[in-house]
A and B are shown apart, each in its own frame.
Chain A
């Protein structure tokens, strides 16, 4: 017995020309042609509402509708809770999910507002005045010493960005080579960085390596001397916001020949990233890997360490920075993923807003804030989220899902199937072709450019002319409808105060 379908395919038979385009576009086998009835039919049960057929239908004959809940209403036993229990009763398996946390927790970003200048502290017009978004990531010196008109102080390697917005780590394997190319091209065009993800780099990405931060995760896929040496920086992934404390399993069907080559695992096997790095069980062990990477690249590149945002992020981040990392990356509990157990994705970790504030505060209190940068990620949806993250204490942000949406992702949440109709989260050659890397690069580049403009507007309204002046400037934020403990954690005042 199968569940009643979640969606309904509504076809305007008047408009439908029976061209069968929908049968080609759909990878979930929804559409078909009924020879007896001589018309197109749909199998609603398979529909995931990815909208591919709707967008591509030449006569716009299709609409996907949500079917009204078919279960009797109950506030505790929601339809989805009942569906999940029935599925697990049948299979005895862990429910797999894609994209970010789907539980309706309160959004802290949406409960924070940004200050603006009026009369006494004049705003700045970003159309007339220069506005600085340039951001440097890495360790900053205690003080600068000049000798004979030359810099005497040795400066640790920093990454120079033209915007505080970077493109998040999404692995080659989870997403296609074409997506990786599009993202890398956009990063280069916008003078920012793209994360490689944990699946290694395809050789075709090497020309973009000076705009790529390469990841070293517990599976160590695609990690070798050249990969480290050509990159702009390195990032050790300890944890991921969508699945804190657990490893990753890239499903076997996505391990095609080219993925097998890059990751060096058998074709068709699950790519297993163990929960811990098996050579890291303490801050001291972490420090050993940080310096192994620095030694292997002769101290020319910064090493970042990424953790999922959890209760103890602040002391852990201190340890990470003291262990020699040049930045700590905090990934919030709303972060996206190609595949994670639903129960983990929806229930583990803490909001990124709280983690940024707590880590920034702690590093300041210990007097080591300048030792390393803070990078925030996990559901940064708008330029306002970027501004709020920076004002809470971040130096820069990573955007993942937003960049994919720019490429055409409609968040249908079926990444783990490898059947992405938009050619993003797939390794199927004919689906991959659906995404043109050049057009994709333009779209992602446009998104970052638009957010840059908006960030400048926000800075102007705040009467400041550089993103550096926004960093950790919590005085310019106010909370709306937040409890006192929440306000205390965020280090902000309630609106009106």
Chain B
């Protein structure tokens, strides 16, 4: 099913998508997307949405199951509080990618902005993953409570792979950065842990689908130094209070 988003307000466009899903559309291609917000907001099921153009903020927010592919850049807030499903961005994505994400995957073939993966969560099989081929801005994984963030830094060798204040308040989950991260870049409650053979094995599995999606070689990616960032403790502020 093909939709032309030209000149449509997001409310109208999202209504078209809703109607299509209710009519059991399984593949939806949207052309001429130009900043419309909330595409795929709160939708569920195993529908696939292809986006040509640049979607607006909060792409796939609260989404539960579908796959969205963006063949351009994406803006702020993709996968906000997303429950399950997949968002693939062939270009860059901007700030607050995967805010409070609860499950599913976000693959970005370019850079991601500030505040990515803040407050990501997990519970058993609900396990969110964000992987970016490029670099990430400041405040990556702040207050992280679960899931995995992987930043590969393969796009621009001049810029830093990751910004400052990494994982402040982290109390669950893990971050892998391809390259060396200085200790001073970490926020309170985060620490650098040893990147072991186990981690390399784990990462190989985690990266398989990502590499297939964008045509990368897993071996080549893994043939590099990695930094693993984990919580210091499950209760970073446990000693802050008294009676």
Contacts and interface: CB of A to CB of B under 8 A. Distances in A.
A266 B99 contact: no
B230 interface: no
A95 B119 contact: no
A265 B171 contact: yes
Given A96-B241, A252-B238, A272 B143 contact: yes
Contact of A295 (B42, B81, B234): B42
B58 interface: yes
A223 B81 contact: yes
Contacts of B61: 292, 295-296
A224 B237 contact: no
B30 interface: no
A220 B81 contact: yes
B242 A96 contact: yes
A412 interface: no
Interface stretch (B47-55, B121-129, B156-164, B190-198): B121-129
**Chain A CB within 10 Å, residue with most, of B37, B99, B139, B240:** B240
Given A219-B119, A296-B41, 12 more contacts: A95-B241, A219-B143, A220-B100, A224-B102, A252-B238, A264-B102, A266-B172, A274-B169, A278-B143, A292-B61, A295-B41, A296-B42
Contacts of A265: 121, 145-146, 171-172
Given A278-B142, A297-B42, A270 B236 contact: yes
13 contacts: A219-B100, A223-B62, A223-B81, A225-B64, A249-B240, A269-B171, A269-B235, A270-B237, A272-B237, A288-B37, A292-B77, A295-B11, A295-B41
Interface of A: 87-88, 91, 93-96, 218-221, 223-226, 228-229, 249, 251-252, 260-261, 263-266, 268-270, 272, 274, 278-279, 288, 291-292, 295-299, 341, 417
Given A220-B100, A269-B171, A272-B171, A93 B58 contact: no
A120 B73 CA distance: 72
B71 interface: no
Nearest to A84: B242
B142 A264 contact: no
B62 A296 contact: yes
B100 A223 contact: yes
Contacts, number: 142
A474 B119 CA distance: 44
A266 B243 contact: no
A442 B5 CA distance: 53
B235 A94 contact: no
A266 B146 contact: yes
B14 interface: yes
Given A264-B122, A278-B142, A270 B99 contact: no
B237 A264 contact: no
Q: Which of A88, A225, A249 has the largest number of chain B CB atoms within 10 A?
A: A225
Contacts of A261: 123
Interface string B206-243: 00000000000000000000000000001111111111
Contacts of A251: 241
A87 B100 contact: no
Interface string B112-145: 0001001101110010000000000001001101
Interface residues of B, number: 49
Contacts of B126: 264
Contacts of B64: 224-226
What 4 A-B pairs come out closest when comparing CB atoms? A296-B42, A220-B100, A264-B121, A93-B242
A274 B115 CA distance: 13
B107 interface: no
Contacts of B96: 278-279
A225 B58 CA distance: 14
Contacts of B123: 260-261, 264
B64 to A, nearest CB: 4
- B14, B102, B169, B243, most chain A CB atoms within 10 A: B243
Nearest to A88: B242
Contacts of B10: 295
A228 B42 CA distance: 9
B239 to A, nearest CB: 7
Contact of A264 (B77, B145, B240): B145
B142 A91 contact: no
Given A96-B243, A220-B81, A291 B37 contact: yes
Nearest to A263: B121
A338 to B, nearest CB: 13
B235 A268 contact: yes
B83 interface: yes
